Amino acid sequence: METIGHFIDGRRVPGQSGRRAEVFNPATGEAQAEVALASAAEVAAAVERAKAAQPAWAATNPQRRARVLMKFVELLNRDMDRLAEAISREHGKTLPDARGDVQRGLEVAEFCIGAPHLLKGEFTDGAGRGIDMYSMRQPLGVVAGITPFNFPAMIPMWKFCPAIACGNAFILKPSERDPSCPMLLAELMIEAGLPEGILQVVNGDREAVEAILDHPDIAAIGFVGSTPVAQHIYGRAAATGKRVQCFGGAKNHMIVMPDADLDQAVDALVGAGYGAAGERCMAVSVAVPVGEATADALIRKLVPRVESLKIGPYTAGEDVDFGPVISREAKSRILGLIDSGVEAGADLVVDGRGFTMQGYESGFFVGACLFDRVTPEMEIYRQEIFGPVLSTVRAASYEDALELTMRNEFGNGTAIFTRDGATARDFTSRINVGMVGVNVPIPVPLAYHGFGGWKKSGFGDLNQHGPDAFRFYTRTKTVTSRWPSGITEGAAFSIPTME
Ligand code: NAD
């Protein structure tokens, strides 16, 4: 069986800790590889090599750094199918969805080609007599990213592309569940011309993460994953003075107003609720129809659509709607939550619990489930299910729907479907959620805007990609310079005011 090690100094190296985890094919339920789990000493060695390589990379002018990313984009396009296959084999998502995973990362690499422009500082000519003032953006040094299983291409690229474009060295700790694609990405960066040591991939679990958190030479950490881990890492890393941004879980509500085009709303709910088996932080997991008539009509239209969703392994062809979930544990957790919803009195109008895939009986498949009459106290509403389960919470009015979404502890994404501009405008202005869609169910901002949730979906003040990424991965230095013509004689004891 293949053992996936780490990627250090431009090449694959075996793990040395003796600890390993199995990597499954979720469609068959079989272990297909093992991944090495790094020890603290292996993390420290990766950091040391990165630290040695970083100053020369920071001194490479930003245009040349950007050219590495330009080449990287070309290589991503060349290898798109190979990368997508590596993702689908370990994650279980369909091939078109896996290509989308690569594409949304590639677009951030494209954005980062603009690094020379994005890194330009500010300059004030004549801030005082003979005085100029300017600011520059400088890299932080060695920075790290800890990423989740659900986007093994996109999220690592969201992290390492801007960090590296800014002149940092990057330690990537990807999810141990689907480590192959991040290793391929690192190889492509080397092929694109990145010097050795600037992108190190350290595979591992909690032990490697703790080592990253404790390492004094890691200046910043970007994390994406579940909320409890995000909150833990945010607190721990911030306490040691590291710069840190952590993005967590979600419970995304989609409000359907009585005036919405219901067919469009149904299309949106089916795609955004069940795509990638619901394993997206921007999946719609709660439908909120406003008014009983809207709710009845919506459920009537949703049921046959959900019942006819095509589930299968990624090898079954491009018309499969979604594949298995990531692991046996995830499957039993999801099934347990569905049972809890039934016990709590919610109406399971489409029951996918008994689903099995012929020929793939040991695969981690969960059939699509649709709940009606879910209430906010139920576990299925309170927890992020991260599976192919859509809950419907009926709201009596627009204000009730707004209030429900505002009260939810998560604030990643939300959407409203309506034909009324004033309602949509009121919603976008008042809602306490980071990413909002108007007749758009998965409002994932493009590479040149920022991605980030509010409340328990995001800890820290800067977003991922967009101009914020260049702020996160650099620190500003402001220089005030005066040349002799502006210098007056004598010591000044009061605070300078540039008078
Ligand atoms: P996870 O929290 O289990 O793991 C994320 C990373 O943290 C992995 O690299 C993992 O090895 C590490 N990790 C896990 N447990 C840890 C612990 N106790 N201490 C230290 N490190 C630990 O998340 P996941 O299951 O891989 O991903 C799914 C979650 O990620 C969902 O909650 C989803 O909503 C969230 N997510 C959020 C965003 C966003 O931008 N907000 C994007 C994608 C996914």
Q: How far is the CA of 224 from the centre of ligand 1 (A)?
A: 6
- Is it the case that residue 498 has pLDDT exceeding 90? no
Q: Is the CB of 463 under 6 A from ligand 1?
A: no
**Token pair for 110:** 């494209």
Q: Is the CB of 203 under 6 A from ligand 1?
A: no
Distance CA 108, CA 167 (A): 16
**209, amino acid identity:** V
Q: How far is the CA of 203 from the centre of ligand 1 (A)?
A: 14
Reported as half-sphere exposure (CB side, CA atoms, 13 A), residue 136 has a value of 6
Beta strands 347-350 and 369-372, pairing class: antiparallel
Nearest to 200 by CA among 209, 187, 191: 187
Closest residue (by CA) to atom 23 of ligand 1? 225
Distance CA 59, CA 40 (A): 29
Please say whether the beta carbons of 205 and 176 come within 8 A: yes
pLDDT over 70 for what percent of the chain?
Answer: 99
* 281 is known as an active-site residue: yes
Sign of CA dihedral 438, 439, 440, 446: negative
Q: Is the CB of 206 under 6 A from ligand 1?
A: yes
- Is it the case that residue 488 has pLDDT exceeding 90? no
Strand order in the sheet with 30-36: 2-4, 30-36, 20-25
Please say whether the beta carbons of 404 and 253 come within 8 A: yes
Q: How far is the CA of 378 from the centre of ligand 1 (A)?
A: 23
- Is it the case that residue 494 has pLDDT exceeding 90? no
**Which tens digit of pLDDT belongs to each residue from 54-73?**
999 999 999 999 999 999 99
Please say whether the beta carbons of 314 and 281 come within 8 A: no
- Is it the case that residue 486 has pLDDT exceeding 70? no
Distance CA 92, CA 24 (A): 9
pLDDT over 90 for what percent of the chain?
Answer: 95
Mean residue pLDDT of the chain comes to 97
Q: Which DSSP letter does residue 324 get?
A: -
Q: How far is the CA of 11 from the centre of ligand 1 (A)?
A: 26
Q: Is the CB of 149 under 6 A from ligand 1?
A: yes
Q: Which DSSP letter does residue 18 get?
A: S
């062809």: which residue's tokens? 317
Q: Which DSSP letter does residue 484 get?
A: G
Distance CA 346, CA 381 (A): 10
Per-residue CA distances from 295 to 270, 332, 432, 487 (Å): 15, 30, 24, 74
**Which tens digit of pLDDT belongs to each residue from 154-191?**
999 999 999 999 999 999 999 999 999 999 999 999 99
